[in-house]
Chains A and B, each alone.
Chain A
Amino acid sequence: MKKANSMNNRLLCIAGAAAALLLLGSAHAAAPGVKGTAFTLTASPAYISQPDGQTVYSWGYACSGGGSAAPTTITPPATGVCGGVMQIPGPTLIVTEGVAFSVALTNNLPTAAGNTSILFPGLSVSSPPTGGVAGLLTQEAAPGTSVTYHLIANSPGTRAYYSGTQGDLQVEMGLYGAIIVLPSTAPAGCTAVGAVPAHYIAPGNSREADFRLAAAAYDHPRTCYDREYLFQFSEMDLNIHNQALAQVTAKAGCAAGTAGCSLEVPTEPYHPAYFMINGRSMPDDMDSNYAVQYPHQPYNGNPHMHPGEQVLIRVIGQGRWQHPFHEHGNHVRILGRDGNLILSATDANSLAGPLQFTTTTTPGLAFDGIFYWTGKGLNWDAYGHNPASTAASTMPVHAACVPDANGYNTGAPTAINFWEWCQDHNKPMQAHPFGDVASGGPVTLPDPNLFTNGAWYGGSPYLGPDATTRFAGPTGTTPPSGTIANSPTGEAGFAFMWHSHNEREITTNNIFPGGMLMMMLVDSREFQIDESN
């Protein structure tokens, strides 16, 4: 390939990435799904899309009835969450610990695809499956017919479900999803769903809604959380999908069970070029849940949080590879795996799961973890507070920071700097004043002409639009061109990359950036995090 071609390709991709960024809007994530006790899923084919323009023939599950959208603060698509639209990952099934439920599976795959079934590792069978035909691992649904599984979850937590028939092909094609099991009761000390206290509300904003499915991840007071996200990791080898499509097309109309009416798609050697979170590759994963442009990939990966919030991340390995998922910004406390809370051997009140900055996703395994960000220990005031400021501002520039027993400003939930780390309050970072930021700190920043700004750079070293505006001035030398995804005047959060650290997996079919990558935003309280879109 000659240089000229390469440059053309680069420019094309730049245009593509820029266009994709412009579509970002202010989409957020949460963990939407279908809540119920009698789910109806239909396995069926459709085409999903990838950010390089590729459409990929896939199989997925559609919710065809039997559940309601959850959390109720998220707007489901016009078709409803059980409108029968095939999706990848499959519908997130939300159930309650100790409450029996059923999943009726109808096989609407092409006849040549043969039978299909679902495995529910980590859940108990409440009664044998009804209908269907015997399969290798479980009862299966033959083409055009149904099988119903009867299950009960004996413990809370996140789990996977996926095809139990010809899994090397059917899981690759997209037949997988998540089950979230909610604790039967809210542990003492957790904030009940809907009972979140009022926080700072910036002028023009409304109070943030509660987007949690439950008050806690497990039946344990150490597992309370304030916000939650679900990430399912999978990879895709286009060649397998193309061969499956070619064969089902060639064998269209064949009679189920007759000789030759089956697929012979080689699934080795395996050569994936697409690496997805929740069925989407970056930057598509940062568009909203249920975005109209991805009718078959409704779930996004676009986490946001405020300082101090305990954020539950539910992560499942749905492909056949492991991926070292690196969370920038802080460690993650692993609470439990596959619904098994990890507690100290000597004290049932203490957690014992490891702390990790890279959380490996493993095929078939789900884990729940807690993440938070506070800025503790930076040794400079990340909010850019300036005790000498005379700037006109709608924000309390001189906000007080009253340390609680742990050193955080938690006394007043409506304070704009709720959860600020008080030891660093008013500590300057810069040696010389810049804008309305105090001087006397340890470092000198280079001339802005000497560096290049990232698309998610908030426009200043500081958190929030007010601090950034005071730093840069109302019109601003900075914030500079280029900061298009994290507006200096609107959001100005701290952006952190959450991504696979097997770095070649943050590409989409050889294009960087792409793949298993998303930007997590820590937002000042000025910015309203709205997960409803």
Chain B
Amino acid sequence: MFNTRGWIALGLLSAFALPAMAQSFRVQCPTSTITHPNAASNNSEPANIGPGVKGAIKCQQISGGDGYATMGDGTQTYLFSFGPLSGLADIARGLPGTEFPSVFNTVHAGAPLQPGDPATSGTTYNGAVGLVLDIPNLVSIFDISEVGNTVTVVGNSPLGVAVGDRVTISGQDTTGYNGTFTVTAINVPNSFFPANFAFRYTNTTAGLAAVNESATATAGLAPRIDGHVDPRPIMDVGVMNGNIPAPLMAIDEDDEFFLTLTNVGMIMRPDLFEQHTVHFHGYPNASAFYDGVPDASVAINIAASFTYYYLAPDAGTYFWHCHITPPEHLQMGMVGQLYVRPRQNRLTSATTLNAGLVTQQGDLRTACRRPNDGATPAVTTATDILCSNPVPAVLTTATGGGKYAYNDGDGSTAYDVEYPLQIHGFDPNFHFVGMTFNPEGFTDMKDKYFLLNGRSYPDTVSPGPLATQTVDGVMHFSQPLPAIINIPHGGRALLRISDLDVSEYQTLASLGIPMQVIGYNAKLLRDQAGNNLYYTTNSITLGGGESLDVILDTCLVRTTPGDPSSACNTTAVGATIAAGTYYLYTPNLDHLSNDAENFGGLMTEVHVN
């Protein structure tokens, strides 16, 4: 038995032919783009005002590498894994590490980040780990002179400035000129060098003597954020810092999402100079380039970064994972969660959800037309066979202001609290073999840890991050995301359930609270005529690579019957499910175990309180 990395090795042949010569970590998070040109409005979600790409810009950085996690029986298990390199504090709180540019593009200040962070220092930093101001672009000054308050600087080479740039003059013999100024003119003809070697700025001090051929004078562009990173904090934080599940991602419809994967290498497997990728599973009309399949695209080598670019697709529960040697990298732990929130969340209570959805039909990119949907121009047949949220067949008066799973137009996917839940399984033998330089067999793969958000019961109900000491002797937040479900009494919880098990189907059942399935594979369950096809059940079954959306509703009678966004009618008899503790568990009873322990496994608690 052996694991052959056929495709990877094919690629390595070309890597040998063109070796990467240097570290090349880098992040990308533009503050404005063609689609979102106004930098000032890209740091929050705007109000939904109809057709056109609204939204904002979101950025995230993740590491690809390895780490350890703690299983329900206390065993430490080796992982191939992703870890957070942005949103460290948010990830530690169980939140997405996806940030607006104003947060992502923040240079870390204070004591340096430590190995194990965010566990080590308890940092509150959410910016891009490693981000530093660019090294100033510097030229030596050949001649600097002044006429009135206008200074002309002639460099020994072009500085490459633009009018409006901030430039810093420094030198031992240019004291009166020194300081940071705004460039007022470029391409200045002069008697020494070509015009593009020179620029001008305005100095408050007039009458300075010219300084020619100074030995120390320099002109530099002010340091600025352009995606340059210092590799030291990236290696300090990113190495051996794997999470299971991988860092949580959440974006809003119309967002542009810049996701930087930084490959820090697998310290425990130096024999594997592996690439990693991100497959945004379910992205509609994906390009092969950003699809993350190494065979169909490119894959980033160790010591370098690749930024994936996505325009947020239709709302729904997606997920993501590495696509290098999937039976190995997924089993070893490179799986994560990703969801897209609907633009309907941006409607206010002054607008009906129906009107909002009808308005949205005016944008061809987001339209899902059906006959008699109230939008113009009228259509005679459904126009797109692969869209699932036409204007609902039953008109309701539900208004905005809430949180919704989909652009439902009727409030039927409203929820009070949401929980991403990812089903996974670990085969400890495979993980051990994977750690010890031995080739793994795939046919005999047999999961013995059954995981919800990377944890088995009872760890699933431990609040806060789970920490594991790795071989570097430092504690790391290996499993940041609890799987405990807290629902306010009478409230509705949205469970965003995905399954990335690589060997078998998994069933998850609910005791005491019915499961209403409202979405499947990141699509609203609705037919082309607008009828909701939700169904209520006590269990759901998923294979690897599937997701669905479940509502747990603890209110049985609403003040407005049929409108789940209306208040719970607590005066009615039997209006609510009693407060207390309920369970999500697997009826695959052999999966209620943690390896040899006949206890635990795929189970968690639902607290109604």
Contacts and interface: CB of A to CB of B under 8 A. Distances in A.
Interface of A: 1, 3, 5-6, 9-14, 16-18, 221-222, 271-273, 310, 322-324, 326, 328-331, 333, 344-347, 349-352, 354-358, 360, 370-380, 382, 403, 405-407, 421, 423, 427-429, 440-444, 446-458, 460-461, 480-482, 486, 493-497, 499, 501-504, 506-507, 509-513, 519, 522
A372 B385 contact: yes
Nearest to B35: A379
B20 interface: yes
Contact of A382 (B287, B295, B503): B287
B14 A328 contact: no
Contacts of A493: 288
A355 B306 contact: no
Given A310-B385, A355-B523, A451-B306, A512 B5 contact: yes
A331 B523 contact: yes
Contacts of A333: 385-386
B26 interface: yes
Contact of A352 (B35, B306, B527): B527
Contact of A329 (B291, B298, B305, B379): B291
Interface SS of A by simple majority: loop
25 contacts: A1-B2, A1-B438, A6-B438, A17-B10, A222-B382, A323-B543, A330-B285, A330-B286, A330-B386, A344-B531, A403-B364, A405-B377, A440-B34, A442-B30, A442-B309, A443-B307, A447-B24, A450-B24, A457-B297, A461-B289, A482-B11, A494-B289, A495-B293, A496-B286, A512-B327
B299 A329 contact: no
B331 to A, nearest CB: 7
Interface stretch (B80-88, B440-448, B576-584, B597-605): B440-448
B20 A450 contact: yes
A503 B296 contact: no
Nearest to B305: A446
B503 A344 contact: no
A245 to B, nearest CB: 20
Given A6-B439, A345-B531, A357-B521, A503 B330 contact: yes
B443 A509 contact: yes
A523 B137 CA distance: 44
Interface string B255-269: 010100000000000
A370 B528 CA distance: 14
A491 to B, nearest CB: 12
Interface SS of B by simple majority: loop
Interface string B2-27: 11111111111111011111001010
B313 interface: yes
Contacts, number: 335
B70 interface: no
B1 to A, nearest CB: 5
Contact of A446 (B15, B306, B377): B306
B494 interface: no
B501 interface: yes
Given A328-B293, A429-B309, A349 B381 contact: yes
A511 B296 contact: no
A454 B544 contact: no
B415 to A, nearest CB: 21
B520 A354 contact: yes
Contact of B503 (A11, A380, A504, A509): A504
B383 A10 contact: no
B174 interface: no
B293 A497 contact: yes
Given A333-B386, A427-B34, 12 more contacts: A328-B291, A330-B386, A349-B529, A360-B543, A379-B53, A448-B18, A451-B299, A451-B301, A461-B287, A495-B295, A502-B501, A506-B327
A17 B6 contact: yes
Nearest to B438: A1
Instruction: Kindly state the interface size class of chain B when it binds its partner.
Output: 35 or more
A449 B313 CA distance: 31
B72 interface: no
A344 B365 contact: no
B434 interface: no
Top 6 nearest A-B pairs by Cβ distance?
A501-B545, A324-B543, A13-B4, A407-B364, A352-B527, A350-B528
B505 A322 contact: yes
Contact of A501 (B304, B387, B546): B546
B110 interface: no
Contact of A454 (B26, B282, B295, B441): B295
A349 B385 CA distance: 12
A351, A441, A446: which has the most chain B beta carbons within 10 Å? A446
B327 A507 contact: yes
B443 A502 contact: no
B383 to A, nearest CB: 5
B46 interface: no
Nearest to A403: B364
B33 interface: yes
A378 B15 CA distance: 29
B441 A510 contact: yes
Contacts of A10: 2-6, 9
Contacts of B386: 330-331, 333, 355, 370-372
A357 B522 contact: yes
B30, B443, B505: which has the most chain A beta carbons within 10 Å? B443
B298 A452 contact: yes
B126 interface: no
A311 to B, nearest CB: 11
A3 B306 CA distance: 31
Contacts of B304: 446, 450-451
A352 to B, nearest CB: 4
B373 to A, nearest CB: 12
Contacts of B290: 461
Given A331-B284, A456-B295, A504 B385 contact: no
A501 B299 contact: no
Contacts of A455: 7, 10-11, 295
Contact of A503 (B299, B326, B382): B326
Contacts of A451: 275, 298-301, 304, 306
Contact of A502 (B313, B379, B504): B504
Nearest to B388: A355
Contact of B256 (A330, A442, A480): A442
Contacts of A427: 34
Contact of B10 (A444, A449, A482, A486): A482
B296 A494 contact: yes
B284 A446 contact: no
Given A354-B520, A457-B297, A510-B442, A222 B385 contact: yes
B28 interface: yes
Contacts of B54: none
B10 A344 contact: no
A428 B34 CA distance: 9
Contacts of A486: 296
B533 interface: yes
A1, A272, A324, A451: which has the most chain B beta carbons within 10 Å? A451
A322 B365 CA distance: 35
Contact of B521 (A12, A354, A373): A354
Contacts of B522: 357
B4 A3 contact: no
Contacts of A499: 326
B275 A329 contact: no
A452 B2 contact: no
B281 interface: yes
Given A355-B386, A481-B14, A503-B326, A9 B4 contact: yes
Contacts of B476: none
Nearest to B294: A454
B502 A453 contact: no
Contacts of B385: 222, 310, 333, 351, 370, 372
Nearest to A9: B2
A512 B4 contact: yes
B455 interface: no
A14 B10 CA distance: 7
